[in-house]
Amino acid sequence: MPAPRNDNTLVSNYMRMWPREIFDREDVRGKRKDRKLDALNKGGVYVLYRDDEPYYVGQADHNMRGRIGQHATIPTQRRYLFWN
């Protein structure tokens, strides 16, 4: 059972080094991928890495999946080519 949280909690949850491919919209057969990563449906702070070095720190107010997904899948996004 998780410890009770108070309003002064700085970090309530974290995830580490998910591959960029998790944000691909379709698999190789053209079928929509099943995404059941509930933590990404909330807001939070994220770090994009280039190899093992932090490249960019961003914040999503409501939906990290959508925000990081923009970085991963839209070639016109400024940071699209520079993280892996």
Write down the pTM of the prediction.
Answer: 0.68
Question: Does residue 47 sit within a domain?
Answer: yes
Q: How many domains does the chain have?
A: 1
Question: Does residue 62 sit within a domain?
Answer: yes
In the prediction, which pLDDT does 16 show?
75
Residues 6+ apart with CB under 8 A from 68: 23, 40, 46, 48, 58, 60
In the prediction, which pLDDT does 83 show?
87
Question: Does residue 32 sit within a domain?
Answer: no
Question: Does residue 16 sit within a domain?
Answer: no
Domain housing 60: 41-84
Question: Does residue 52 sit within a domain?
Answer: yes
pLDDT tens per residue, range 27-84: 555 555 555 567 788 888 999 998 889 999 999 988 888 888 888 888 898 888 888 8
More confident site: 36 or 14: 14
Phi, psi of 55 (to 5 degrees): -110, -40
